[in-house]
Structure 1
Amino acid sequence: MREREPGLRHAEAHRVRLDVATGVCVFTQEVGGTHAGNGHDLRLEAVDEPMPDELFETKRSGLLRRLRNR
């Protein structure tokens, strides 16, 4: 990274916020350094709502599907 940004200074610290109900990190912000103020911010849309099982199934390749259906 320093080759691309020779003057890069790492953040001195990070501000972090966690959602207390879920433990999910919902906010970060770099304090100091070259990219001070950068980070992320997210909003949780739903917690513990029913979701279809299809969202969590893994796709199987054709070979595995054929072996499973024997």
Structure 2
Amino acid sequence: MCLVFVCDQDERVIGRYAAPGACPYCGGMVQTVDVESQWRFCFVPLYNKSKRRLICSTCGKRLIAHS
């Protein structure tokens, strides 16, 4: 018996905005990126989630904001 699962995750960028501060690694400009991710099983959407990420525009590293 063989079981095959067809799962897929799709991420789509909704918007990019300038954020205050500089990258601690290279000193480049920081951007806030809104990302919408969607999990699908056999082309049926199961899960949608929107996230906000901080990314350096020069080196491309994902940054973590400490509150």
Give 1 or 2: higher strand fraction: 2
Structure with larger Rg: 1
Q: Whose relative contact order is higher, 1 or 2, with alpha carbons under 8 Å and at least 6 apart?
A: 2
Give 1 or 2: higher helix fraction: 1
Calculate the TM-score normalised by the size of structure 1.
0.29
